[in-house]
Amino acid sequence: MPLYNTASTASALQVSHKWLDNLLSHNKISGVQQARQGVPRRVSIDAVMVVAIAKTLTESAGIATPAAVELASQLVTSPTGTVTLPNTVTLSVDLDALRHAILDRLAHAVEVTPHRVRGRPVGS
């Protein structure tokens, strides 16, 4: 399973790198690999889908970010892409269409996003 860096992920989702970094720092999302300080995070396609859905839920429905991330995680892990909330409210996502759209955007983002070089320059 390919993993994507946060720069490519931010570009594909049309969010700022800072917004994505804050989201990943403050919310536990399955599929985000994080090592020690200075090592960039790597993000799985499922984690990118969680972020995309959470972004939509916060922007379109005004749901608080932690709740949006939790709902998005439930939607992505649901076999049907459906979550039923109390009071007979049902949320549904076409997971195949979302995955296809995100993979297309990620393929482009990987090509156009430069790799951030961290640390001291070589020869210094």
Expressed as residue numbers, the domain containing 32 is 3-112
121 belongs to a structural domain? no
pLDDT mean over 70-80 = 96
Q: Evaluate whether residue 122 is within a structural domain.
A: no
Question: Is position 124 within any domain?
Answer: no
68: in domain:
yes
Let me know if residue 53 belongs to a domain. Answer: yes
What CATH number does residue 46 fall under? 1.10.1660
Domain count, the chain: 1
Over residues 55-66, mean pLDDT? 94
Establish if 9 belongs to a structural domain.
yes
Please give the residue that has the higher pLDDT: either 112 or 74: 74
pLDDT, tens digit (0-9, with 9 covering 90-100), for 82-124: 999 888 889 999 999 999 999 999 998 888 776 666 566 666 5
Query: Which amino acid is located at 85 in the chain?
Result: L
- What is the structure's pLDDT at 40? 75
Cα separation, 55 vs 61, whole angstroms? 10
- Indicate the pTM of the whole model: 0.86
Q: What is the mean pLDDT of residues 24-38?
A: 84
Q: Is the pLDDT of residue 25 over 80?
A: yes
Domain for residue 10, yes or no?
A: yes
Q: Is residue 82 part of a domain?
A: yes
3-state secondary structure (DSSP) of residue 33:
strand
Residues 49-68, mean pLDDT to the nearest whole number: 95
Q: Which pairs count as long-range contacts for 93-100, CB under 8 Å and 24+ apart, including other chains? A: 93/53, 95/49, 98/49, 98/52, 98/53, 99/45, 99/49
Structural contact between residues 6 and 41, judged by C-beta atoms closer than 8 angstroms: yes
